[in-house]
């Protein structure tokens, strides 16, 4: 269809949802992992509410063919950002169909896995689904999505909704997923990989599917330890039945964030796939609860604009914390609130953007949003709060909302002064410390924490007895961690008895704090500090091994022999540290070349970004640098994870200040891929 250009009516400058209501869309998709492309046939059902001559879909860098309205080919314009349909649209029901192809630059990712395998996954929020599927960047346009996908039968394919059909045709399977209720486009998802799964049922008979890679079968229980419990708790606490047909959770490699609440099917980062030891340091519990809470607050009711983003992130953060309180207890709950209050107060010194602002920080949207709800919950009482939440979710189900919609439901159950409340918590950047402390002080642990905080500037000799009593008491761990924090800059001779008491608590977190804060280890504390190597915590072991190696050169061989089989988290934190220490220990290894090759291999594309960065940081810090290391560092600059690509760029900027390093980078330049050459050349010319 040839392109033509018209003068459009003024409706284009208004919200399209006033003129058109898209009801549903079905797509039959094919993906090519070698070319990193997606193509498909798409069918939309929509209703024209008011006559108009142009309708737009968001579609980034796509090619279209066979564009038809009600089975008739029409004129269309492809702006590379939108598909504009030119037609004399009249009020009533219509059907749109077309074929498309795309090679997305973002939002759809092809991640190489060992043995020439691949994982494919999507991320719509903040990236726009319209990069891989013609849809709507405007969250106010909600519709029912049904995706069918053809792919290699050795892989699992997951999308939103129930799997209605799965058929085999030669080497391909066809997977047909179907939703029943509408949602915003940013929640559309696709995940393809070699997964296994275990199936459960919630108390209310909702199917629960928890996925894992076959190699992680022994990590299934720690990873999903509280998942079913969290589901049952949130459904009861929120008071509204889970609004979707099924709940799935899938860990995917090199995911951009901790997790994403795609409707019915949460994706989360593999860093949370842990064994029982890893569970102590980085378990999935909070992320799990946060993303699940979004299935009500975000997926069911969606903030109409980023100004009201706290209605999603603040709610998900608060209800996740309530779920953790159910698991870990009130002391944990109040300690988390106390810690976030300190973060918000510190940030408020320079952060001038309040909650009700689309440019607010994540800390503001998430943590201050959660604090806002905590204060409101405590102020109006549990019964009124739950009644308002239930009414709010029921009234605005499958719609978009704003802050006043929520407050209208609060007004129905309480005469609480919401105008003053809004000014204090949502429109001001200051943190209402008196109110916060009054609410926190209902908890005895926080009473003790506030008491301890008053001693921060007190001489150690004047408070040592108080601190000693705390460490010997049965008070919750967060107070004892605060005691250890106060010891960091004190003279060793004075604080030694307190450090010994901290270790004797046998609490992993308290002992870990000792490991992290005591970086200069006296000889007479060495044997005590060495016990940290035996703690069931990969994070503690990493810190303890490093500082023991640094402080006691004469014992390095002993420490390396003890830890030579350590692996650590699934990012190999302990193995990469061990390799770098072994290579930096004179005459330790009889085959240093093998160790160098192993460490360099961890920095290659065979591994996830976190592992690669771990290895690269250690290689560079310990000056184990050759052309392969530099090449792997340049590869980081082209990675889809911005954190990793930024690390690559920033590290190269530092290295090329050295003329020899600059020469080395210039030498490897011709052997890089075009994308890598572009990134490195740009850095060399800065």
Of the candidates 22, 257, 282, 267, the one whose C-alpha atom is nearest the C-alpha of residue 137 is 22
Chain CA centroid to CA 77, Å: 37
Chain CA centroid to CA 370, Å: 17
pLDDT of residue 115: 83
Beta strands in 448-499 (DSSP E): none
* 352: its two tokens: 């001038």
Of the candidates 572, 643, 642, the one whose C-alpha atom is nearest the C-alpha of residue 611 is 572
196-201 sheet: strands from edge to edge: 196-201, 207-212, 247-252, 265-269, 259-260
For residue range 603-635, list pLDDT tens digits in order: 999 999 999 999 999 999 989 999 999 999 999
Q: Give the helix ranges, DSSP H, for 488-608.
A: 492-504, 508-517, 526-530, 538-551, 556-563, 573-583, 592-602
pLDDT of residue 157: 98
pLDDT of residue 11: 40
DSSP 8-class letter at 134: S
Percent of the chain with pLDDT over 90: 97
d(CA 262, CA 354): 27
Crossing angle (nearest 10°) for helices 403-411 and 382-395: 130
d(CA 351, CA 48): 44
* 165: its two tokens: 């059909």
Terminal-residue alpha carbon distance, the chain: 45
For residue range 413-469, list pLDDT tens digits in order: 999 999 999 999 999 999 999 999 999 999 999 999 999 999 999 999 999 999 999
Evaluate whether 327 touches 226 at the Cβ level (below 8 Å).
yes
Evaluate whether 234 touches 293 at the Cβ level (below 8 Å).
yes
d(CA 610, CA 669): 25
Pairing of strands 247-252, 265-269: parallel
d(CA 231, CA 201): 10
pLDDT of residue 26: 98
- Tell me the whole-structure pTM to 2 decimals: 0.95
DSSP 8-class letter at 91: S
* 17: its two tokens: 């949802």
261 phi, psi to nearest 5 deg:
-85, 45
For residue range 456-509, list pLDDT tens digits in order: 999 999 999 999 999 999 999 999 999 999 999 999 999 999 999 999 999 999
Q: Which residues contact 123 (CB under 8 A, 6 or more apart)?
A: 107, 109, 255, 256, 257, 260, 267
Number of residues in the chain: 686
Of the candidates 497, 491, 488, the one whose C-alpha atom is nearest the C-alpha of residue 515 is 488
Dihedral of CA atoms 622, 627, 631, 632 in degrees, nearest 10, equals -40
DSSP 8-class letter at 135: B
d(CA 289, CA 273): 15
Buried b (16+ CB within 10 A) or exposed e, 289-300: bbbbbbbbbbbb
Asked if residue 6 has pLDDT above 60, the reply is: no
Asked if residue 527 has pLDDT above 70, the reply is: yes
Percent of the chain with pLDDT over 70: 98
For residue range 7-37, list pLDDT tens digits in order: 333 344 347 888 999 999 999 999 999 999 9
What domains can be seen in the chain, in order of their start residue?
1-187 (2.60.40.1730), 195-295 (1.10.390.10), 301-442 (1.10.390.10)
d(CA 230, CA 300): 18
Mean pLDDT for the stretch of residues 271-282: 97
pLDDT of residue 572: 97
d(CA 29, CA 177): 12
Beta bridge partners of 535: none
For residue range 150-205, list pLDDT tens digits in order: 999 999 999 999 999 999 999 999 999 999 999 999 999 999 999 999 999 999 99
């Amino acid at each position: 269809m040839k392109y033509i250009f018209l003068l459009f009516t003024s409706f284009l400058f208004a919200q399209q949802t006033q003129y058109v209501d898209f009801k549903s869309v079905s797509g039959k998709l094919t993906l090519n992992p070698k070319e990193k492309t997606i193509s498909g046939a798409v069918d939309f059902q929509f209703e024209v509410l008011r006559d108009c001559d142009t309708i737009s879909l968001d579609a980034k860098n796509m090619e279209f063919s066979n564009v038809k309205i009600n089975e008739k080919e029409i004129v269309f314009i492809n702006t590379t950002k939108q598909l504009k349909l030119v037609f004399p649209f009249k009020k009533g029901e219509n059907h749109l169909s077309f074929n498309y192809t795309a090679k997305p630059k973002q939002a759809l990712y092809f991640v190489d896995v060992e043995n020439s395998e691949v994982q494919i996954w999507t991320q719509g929020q903040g990236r726009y689904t319209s990069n891989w599927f013609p849809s709507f960047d405007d969250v106010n346009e909600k519709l029912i999505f049904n995706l069918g996908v053809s792919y290699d039968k050795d892989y699992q394919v997951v999308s939103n909704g129930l799997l209605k059909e799965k058929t085999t045709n030669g080497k391909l399977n066809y997977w047909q997923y179907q939703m029943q209720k509408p949602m915003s486009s940013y929640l559309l998802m696709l995940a393809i990989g070699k997964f296994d799964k275990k199936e459960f049922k919630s108390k209310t008979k909702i199917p629960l599917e928890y996925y894992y890679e076959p190699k992680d079968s022994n990590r299934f229980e720690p990873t999903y330890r509280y998942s079913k419990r969290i589901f049952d708790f949130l459904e009861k606490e929120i008071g509204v039945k889970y609004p979707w047909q099924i709940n799935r959770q899938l860990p995917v490699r090199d995911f951009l964030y901790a997790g994403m609440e795609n409707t019915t099917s949460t994706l989360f980062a593999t860093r949370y796939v842990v064994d029982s030891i890893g569970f102590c340091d980085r378990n999935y519990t909070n992320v799990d609860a946060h993303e699940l809470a979004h299935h009500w607050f975000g997926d069911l009711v969606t903030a109409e604009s980023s100004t009201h983003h706290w209605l999603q992130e603040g709610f998900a953060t608060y209800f996740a914390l309530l779920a953790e309180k159910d698991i870990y207890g009130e002391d944990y709950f109040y300690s988390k609130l106390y810690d976030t209050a300190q973060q918000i107060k510190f940030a408020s010194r320079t952060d001038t953007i309040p909650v009700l602002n689309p440019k607010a920080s994540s800390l503001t949207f998430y943590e201050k949003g959660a604090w806002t709800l905590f204060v409101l919950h405590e102020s109006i009482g549990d019964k009124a709060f739950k009644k308002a939440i239930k009414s709010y979710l029921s009234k605005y189900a499958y719609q978009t909302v704003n802050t006043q919609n929520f407050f209208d439901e609060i007004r129905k159950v309480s005469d609480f002064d919401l105008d003053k409340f809004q000014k204090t918590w949502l429109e001001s950047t200051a943190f209402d410390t008196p109110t916060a402390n009054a609410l926190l002080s209902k908890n005895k642990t926080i009473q003790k924490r506030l008491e301890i905080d008053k001693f921060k500037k007190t001489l150690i000799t004047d408070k040592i007895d108080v601190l000693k009593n705390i460490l010997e008491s049965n008070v919750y761990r967060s107070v004892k961690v605060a005691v250890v924090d106060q010891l960091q800059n004190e003279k060793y001779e004075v604080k030694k008895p307190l450090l010994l008491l901290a270790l004797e608590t046998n609490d992993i977190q308290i002992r870990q704090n000792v490991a992290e804060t005591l970086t200069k280890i006296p000889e007479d504390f060495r044997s005590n500090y060495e016990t940290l190597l035996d703690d069931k915590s990969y994070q503690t072991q990493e810190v303890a091994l490093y500082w023991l190696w640094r402080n006691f050169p004469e014992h390095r061989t002993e420490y390396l022999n003890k830890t030579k089989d350590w692996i650590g988290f699934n990012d190999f934190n302990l193995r990469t540290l061990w390799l770098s220490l072994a290579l930096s220990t004179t005459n330790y290894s009889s085959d240093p070349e093998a160790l160098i090759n192993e460490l360099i291999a961890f920095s290659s594309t065979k591994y996830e970004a976190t592992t690669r960065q771990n290895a690269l940081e250690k290689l560079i810090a310990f000056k184990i640098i050759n052309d392969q290391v530099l090449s792997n560092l340049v590869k980081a600059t082209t990675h889809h994870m911005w954190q990793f690509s930024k690390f690559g760029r920033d590290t190269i900027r530092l290295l090329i200040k050295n003329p020899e390093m600059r020469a080395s980078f210039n030498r490897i330049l011709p052997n890089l891929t075009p994308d890598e050459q572009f990134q490195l050349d740009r850095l060399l010319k800065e």
